[in-house]
Amino acid sequence: MKPQDIRNIAIIAHVDHGKTTLVDAMLKQSRIFRENQQVAERVMDSNDLERERGITILSKNTAITYNGVKINIVDTPGHADFGGEVERVMNMVDGVLLLVDSVEGPMPQTKFVLRHALQRGHKVIVVVNKIDRPNARPDYVVNTTFDLFVDLGASEEQADFPVIYTSALTGVSGLEPDQMTDNLVPLFDSILETLPAPQVEQEGPLQLQATLMGYDDYKGKIVIGRLNSGTIQKNQNVLRIDREGNQHSLKVAQVFTHQGLQRVEVEKAVAGDIVALTGLGDVGIGDTITDPENPQPLPPIKVEEPTLRVTFGVNTSPFAGREGDFVTSRKLRERLYIEAEKDVALKVTDTESPDTFLVAGRGELHLGILIENMRREGYEFEVSKPEVILKKIEDKWHEPVENVEVEVSNEHQGAVVELLGKRKGQMQDMEILDDGSIRYRYLVPTRGLIGFRQQFLTATRGEGIMNTLFAGYQPHTGEIHTRDHGSLVAWEPGEATTYGLHAAQERGELFIGPGTEVYEGMVVGQHIREGDLDVNVCKKKQLTNFRAAGSDEALRLEPPRNLSLDDALEYLADDELLEITPKDFRIRKRILPKNQRRRHAKQAGRVKQ
C-alpha cells in the first residue's frame, strides 16, 4: 500500500454528541460485518465501564476501506477528564472529523479538542450530527462553530471547512440538511477529497512514536503508533529512545495493521499506516522506535498537567484483607505505575510512607475510573479526599480554575446561582435557550467543584446539565466553605440493627441498612448539621416480660441512600478516607477510635488559635 492510499483521521467531539455511534455506522456501511452477524451497539466501547456509563474512556483504533483507500479511524473520549487521550492521538492523525450536536452546538469540550487539532495544523470536516432531532438548528450550529474556529486562531484554510449533516443512529448523511441520502457516501467522499494523505518519507529511516498501549495475555504489551518514516517488518532489529534520551536495542516480534475491529498480522508495514507492534518490552508512551543505524528521536508527547490528586494507601481498616486479592503496598505500587505508563495525563509519586502513594489526574472522574478498574481487578486499598494541585507563580500561590457551563430550568436558577456563588464562582455569561431554560457560564476554582455535582443534581431535582473544562491558573481565592453537614459515625463494632438505625435516622440520612457489619469510626450516614455525631447503630432493644399496647409495633426505617463510588469520593471530608474492596466501599474516619479523634480535634483547635 502506498501512503497516498491511506487516510488517518480522529473523531472528536463533546461527550454524548455521537462519535462512537457514527463509527458504528461507518463500520456497518463499509461491510466490515457479515449480513447475519449480531453487532452490539457502540461496538467500539469494548470496556465494561464504557458500556455501563455510556461514555468513551480509552482511544481505540479501527480501519475501513472505501474506493481502494484505507481509512484509519481513532475514536476518542469526549469527557474533559480524559483529554490526555485526545492530546496524544493528535500526533497520530492527519485530519479530524469534528462532531457537533445539531441542537446544542459547540460545547466546552468541543473547544478543548478542536484547539489541539488546529495547533497541530490538521484540516477539519465539521459533521453536524443528530440532524433528525425535532429542535435541530443547523444554521446556528454551523455559524457558532465558525466563530469558534476564528476564536481559536484557525488559519484561513482551516476555517474554510466542509460541512456534512448526519444522523449517526440511522446511518444517513447529506451536504444539506434537507437533502439527505440513506447512506454515509457524502461523508466518505468528503474524507477522501478534503483530508490529506500522510506526509511521510517511505524511503527514509524507520521512525515511529509510541502513542497508545494495548495488552494481550499471550503477546504481552502492544505498542500502537503511526509509522512516520521508513518501513517496519517482522523480526526487525530496532532502537528504542525513551523520554530521557536513553537507547535500548530491541527486536520486533510481530507487526499488525488494523482492518475493521481486528488486528491483522502482516510481514511488513509502510510509512503512513497506523501499526501495532509486539515484543518491544518496557516501552513507554512517547518513546521513539527508530533505525539503529540512523537513530532519529521524535519530540516527546506533551500533555497538560494534572489538576487534582489523591493519596492511595494500603487498607488499614479492621476489615482489611477480607475481600481483596491484592492487598500489599508492593502490588498497589506496581499497579499504579503500570497505569501511569499507559496514561500520560496521570502522575504517580512515592511519599515518605512506603504504604502511601500520591496519584494526580485531570479530575474526579479520571481518578474515579482508575479506582473502579482497580477494584474490579481485585485490589483492596484506601483513598483520600481529592485536593487541588497549587502552583507558585511569581511568589504567589495560584490554583486551577474551570469554565463551568450549566443549563437549568427557570425555577431552579436561584438555587444554582447561590451554590456557585458560595464556591467563589464568577459569572461570565448568561443565555436564555429556546425551551425557556437558562445557560450560565461561570469561572469557578477547581477546589469549589469538589463535591459540587451531587449538590447541583439535588438543587435541580436531577434535571440540570453541567459541563466543565480546565481554564488555567488564577491567584488563590481564599477559603471556600463547601460542606454544610457532618457525618454520622459508628462508635462501636458489630452488626447494625433496626433498633439502632431507627434512633440514628432522626439525626440524618443513613448510608447502610440493618445487618450491615460496621466498625468503630466507620461513617454510616450524613448528619443534618455541621460537625460529626457518634451514633450506636448496633444497639439492641432490651427485652422484658412486660408488654404494653403499641410498644411492639414494627419500627420503620427510611430506605438508605445508595452512594455510587463517584458519590462517595465527592462526599469525603478532609479527615475521612474511602476504603475500597472488590465487593464494597466504605467511608471511614482517618482516626478510628472516638477518644483519639476528640483529642486530635482539641489539639488542632489549639494550633489554629
Distance of CA 183 to the CA centre of its chain: 32
Residue 129 host element (H or E)? strand 123-129
**Residue entry with cell 469526549:** 78
Residues 294-302: contacts with CB within 8 Å, 24+ apart? 294/205, 295/205, 295/239, 295/241, 295/247, 296/205, 296/207, 296/229, 297/241, 297/245, 298/207, 298/209, 298/228, 300/243, 301/87, 301/88, 301/91, 301/209, 301/211, 301/344, 302/87
* Phi, then psi, of 482 in degrees rounded to 5: -110, -10
* Phi, then psi, of 33 in degrees rounded to 5: -100, 155
Residues 507-516: contacts with CB within 8 Å, 24+ apart? 507/533, 507/535, 508/533, 509/558, 509/561, 510/557, 510/558, 510/560, 510/561, 511/560, 511/561, 511/563, 511/587, 512/537, 512/560, 513/557, 513/560, 514/557
* Bridge pairing between strands 95-101 and 123-129: parallel
Q: Is there a binding annotation on residue 273? A: no
Residue 334 host element (H or E)? helix 329-342
Residue 25 to residue 167: CA distance in whole angstroms: 9
Q: Is there a binding annotation on residue 248? A: no
Contact indicator for 105, 141 with CB cutoff of 8 Å: yes
Q: Cell for 354? A: 512506603
Q: Is there a binding annotation on residue 429? A: no
DSSP 3-state of 583: coil
Q: Is there a binding annotation on residue 65? A: no
Q: Cell for 580? A: 475500597
Query: With 0-12 CB in 10 A as exposed, 13-18 as middle and 19+ as buried, what is 506?
Result: exposed
Q: Is there a binding annotation on residue 130? A: yes
Contact indicator for 195, 187 with CB cutoff of 8 Å: no
Q: Is there a binding annotation on residue 170? A: no
Residue of 341, 237, 212 lying closest to 289 (CA atoms): 237
Residue of 216, 295, 303 lying closest to 263 (CA atoms): 216
Could you tell me the sign of the dihedral formed by the alpha carbons of 266, 268, 272, 275, in that order?
A: positive
Looking at the chain, how many residues does it have?
609
Contact indicator for 109, 77 with CB cutoff of 8 Å: no
Contact indicator for 24, 75 with CB cutoff of 8 Å: no
Query: With 0-12 CB in 10 A as exposed, 13-18 as middle and 19+ as buried, what is 489?
Result: buried
Residue 331 host element (H or E)? helix 329-342
Residue 374 to residue 445: CA distance in whole angstroms: 29
Q: Cell for 368? A: 474515579
Q: Is there a binding annotation on residue 64? A: no
Residue of 429, 423, 432, 431 lying closest to 442 (CA atoms): 429
Contact indicator for 230, 271 with CB cutoff of 8 Å: yes
Between the alpha carbon of residue 292 and those of residues 35, 211, 250, 285, 321, the distances in Å are: 47, 20, 9, 20, 49
**Residue entry with cell 466501547:** 45
Q: Is there a binding annotation on residue 129? A: yes
Q: Which residues are annotated as a binding site?
A: 16-21, 129-132
Q: Which residues are annotated as a binding site for GTP?
A: 16-21, 129-132
